[in-house]
Homo-oligomer: A and B are copies of this chain.
Amino acid sequence: MSNKSYHHGNLRNALVEKGIELINQKGSEQLSLRKVSALCGVSQTAPYSHFQSKEDLLEAMQEYVIQQFMEVLEHAINSCPKQNDPDVLIQMGKNYVLFFINHPQYFQFLFSHTNIEMKLSLDADEVKNFPPLELLKTIVVRIYGEAGMPNEKMEDTIISLWATVHGLAAIATMKNVHYDKDWEMKIENIIRNR
């Protein structure tokens, strides 16, 4: 609690937040345990009381970022007047891409060290999954499942949409990408005409 005590009091959260700050500023390659420790005013090995490795801290940071990501996606969904309209998917996809355009460092960070289990098929939830993908599956089933679309076709829809927006995010966050038109409308058109 106090500023100069031996015990930090909230180190676990501080490490996660300062780590994310560092990534936003310098990129994920510049992140080191010792830098994050220094930012928290704590010794090099202090993180090992809360995380058993650097990888472990990175996973906690990823969960934090994914939570922000999920809020953006859910906000896009909830802003749609009709919840079972295909336009929900468009808005969701648009915000998928915009999230990474607004936080360019997050894309590399999330999808390079990630060990998150991914199960593309709709059945079999025994695997701990990537929450945004889970959400996408839910929405697709909500929109097309009740309309009688067969599972296999829904799976294709999921992968197709996911691949498009994920690819757009990858391209948009590449270093030195020059694209001078207004992205937002362009993205929407591409997703819509997918």
Q: Taking beta carbons and an 8 Å cutoff, which residues of A are in contact with B?
A: 108, 111-112, 114-121, 127, 156, 159-160, 162-168, 170-171, 174-180, 186, 189-190, 193-194
Number of copies: 2
Residues of B contacting A127 with CB < 8 Å? 178
Give bound CA distance, A189 to B193, whole Å.
Answer: 16
Q: How far is the CB of A193 from chain B (nearest CB, A)?
A: 7
Chain B residue, CB-CB nearest to A112? B112
Contact B121 A175 (CB under 8 A): no
Q: Which 4 A-B pairs have the closest CB atoms?
A: A167-B167, A163-B167, A166-B167, A163-B168
Chain B residue, CB-CB nearest to A116? B176
